[in-house]
């Protein structure tokens, strides 16, 4: 079992920055993949970014490329999502998720993830 706790969400003005943290406990993530997803009211959950822990390989959704950066901290067993140049359309609940199939999961597919956090709200005002 892996427990995930997201933090770092909040209210920010357009153009501002936030860093989301995903702290994992129960297992070390060194063979896992970690993904960040988001869900806005009335919309489907969508992929934001993912990382394969063992290689550091990363992927981003097109709408966040150049603005968001995913990273991992092996010592803290945590993953971060640095979000810059935030837009009102980035408003959503952000979730982190982990997959035990770290080497070959399709990072952008929610179905491949085994454990999910409860999410953290990000609100970007215009």
Please check whether residue 98 is in contact with residue 33, taking contact to mean a CB–CB distance below 8 angstroms: yes
pLDDT single digits (tens) 5-50 = 999 999 999 999 999 999 999 999 988 999 999 999 999 999 999 9
Nearest to 123 by CA among 83, 67, 70: 83
> Can you give the pLDDT at residue 72?
96
- For the cut 90, the answer to whether the pLDDT of residue 102 exceeds it is no
The set of residues, in sequence order, having a beta carbon less than 8 Å from that of 66 and lying 6+ positions away, is: none
Q: Are 22 and 91 in contact (CB under 8 A)?
A: no
Residue 107: what pLDDT? 93
Q: Is the pLDDT of residue 65 over 90?
A: yes
Q: What is the mean pLDDT of residues 99-103?
A: 88
pLDDT tens across 69-100, in order?
A: 999 999 999 999 999 999 999 999 999 999 99
């Amino acid at each position: 079992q892996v427990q995930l706790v997201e933090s770092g969400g909040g209210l920010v003005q357009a153009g501002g920055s936030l860093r989301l943290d995903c702290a994992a406990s129960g297992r070390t993530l060194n063979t896992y993949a970690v993904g960040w997803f988001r869900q806005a009211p009335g919309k489907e959950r969508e992929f934001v970014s993912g990382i394969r822990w063992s290689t550091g390989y990363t992927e981003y959704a097109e709408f966040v490329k150049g603005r968001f950066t995913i990273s991992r901290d092996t010592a803290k067993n945590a993953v971060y999502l640095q979000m810059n140049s935030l837009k009102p359309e980035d408003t959503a609940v952000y979730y982190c998720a982990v997959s035990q199939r770290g080497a070959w999961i399709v990072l952008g597919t929610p179905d491949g993830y085994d454990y999910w956090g409860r999410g953290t709200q990000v609100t970007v005002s215009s």
